[in-house]
Amino acid sequence: MHILFLADNFPPEVNAPASRTHEHCRQWVRSGHQVTVITCAPNFPTGRVFEGWHNRLWQQGQMDGIRVVRVWSYMTANEGFLRRVLDYMSYMLSATLASLFVRRVDVVIGTSPQFFTAVAGWAVGALKRVPFIFELRDLWPESIKAVGAMQSSRLIGWIERLELFLYRRAARIVSVTHSFRRTLGTRGIDMSKIDVVTNGVDITRFSPRAKDADLERELGLGGCFVAGYIGTHGMAHALETLLQAAALLKARPGGERIRLLLLGDGARKADLKAEAARLALDNVIFVDSVPKEQVARYWSLLDVSVIHLRRIELFTTVIPSKLFECMGMGIPVLHGVEGESAEIVRTEGVGFVFEPENAEELTALLLRLQDDPATLAAYRQRCRDSASRYDRTALALSMLNIVRGTL
């Protein structure tokens, strides 16, 4: 079987969509199938092409047996609605044209978060007369409305109608959460054609390890209790809450030993650094994005991981993929997200759930865990026990069976 996968994020980008696509496609190749990915030059989230890469009409290479075709697109940072739409539409057009030169395709997968990739998937499927599968990783444009990037308008209305058209035309829809599946059902989409394959973790890469002594020394974290956020610093994540907690910790007994490590890039990174400087938060350490193969070194430094999204109804349907990487690494979580992902944390017993955007509650939990090594150790063990249930290899094979079922 030849699978054509359209995704505008792919390694060396390190965000969740890039990791999921790569790890699934790698497993499909290992299972004996041919996989072609059409993506663009790596640039997320800054909108600047990574060093050593070029934004060209057509570039071709191999990664873990996957044929990777990179096409030209207009690039912009992960901020500003209209410029992002231009970014997405340019990729859609380039990917559609490039797909015409990929031969003997059996099935096409188009993946969100931005659904213009799915538009390309539908168009290519129609042109090649093969099934189109919509992989749903975000309810877009609902998510951009939720964070205030754009208010309701005629353009949003048109995008929503196009979104429903794609759901109806897809041979199958693969959702990353059960909540997304239920939401589509309430909008009139046939739920019998919607499957759920959650995000997961590559347990060969993310597994418990000792703290990286060299990195700990380099960042001045020796003897500290380290809480960390690793991921995109965007509008949706409300990382100001972590800075507020850092300010509170400076004034609390025992708080002087706690450090907050924030690794990643995004639309809010510069503003967050400026706010930390204004508040003189010497207990906050910012680190720019690092290659995927280096991320586990930084995970190893954490005594606890903070996962956070804004307090918005839509985000109760989201499951941040970093939750599963924490499980793999054996790192307890402080989970500032409500809904389906919070239920996973409670059911698996891998940490505490706190109210999103509540810096006081986050501060209290950090102080509590610092002084309770027995609870911390119990959570670490439950993380390790839970990780196998979200093994990326098994999840990739589950999706492969769904793909086979469309033929």
Query: What string of pLDDT tens digits covers the 407 residues of the chain?
Result: 999 999 999 999 988 899 999 999 999 999 999 999 999 999 988 889 999 999 999 999 999 999 999 999 999 876 666 787 788 899 999 999 999 999 999 999 999 877 799 999 999 999 999 999 999 998 876 666 655 555 556 777 777 888 899 999 999 999 999 999 999 999 999 999 999 999 999 999 899 999 999 999 999 999 999 999 999 998 889 999 999 999 999 999 999 999 999 999 988 999 999 999 999 999 999 999 998 889 999 999 999 999 999 998 888 999 999 999 999 999 999 999 999 999 999 999 999 999 999 999 999 999 999 999 999 999 999 999 999 999 999 999 999 999 999 99
Burial 44-58 (b: 16+ CB within 10 A, else e): bbbbeeeeeeebeee
State residue 156's pLDDT score: 72
State residue 88's pLDDT score: 87
Q: Which class for 220: exposed (0-12), middle (13-18), buried (19 or more C-beta within 10 A)?
A: exposed
State residue 264's pLDDT score: 94
Question: 213-389: same fold as 2-200+391-404?
Answer: yes
The single-letter DSSP state of residue 256 is: G
State residue 366's pLDDT score: 98
Mapped onto helix, strand or coil, the DSSP state of residue 305 is strand
Task: Report how far residue 163's alpha carbon sits from residue 135's, in angstroms, rounded to the nearest whole number.
Answer: 13
Query: pTM higher than 0.95, yes or no?
Result: no
Burial 326-337 (b: 16+ CB within 10 A, else e): bbbbbbbbbbbb
Task: Report how far residue 110's alpha carbon sits from residue 79's, in angstroms, rounded to the nearest whole number.
Answer: 22
- Identify the CA nearest to 323 among candidates 339, 246, 311: 339
The architecture in CATH of the region 2-200+391-404 reads 3-Layer(aba) Sandwich (3.40)
State residue 129's pLDDT score: 97
CATH class of 213-389: alpha beta
**Domain range annotation of the chain:** 2-200+391-404, 213-389
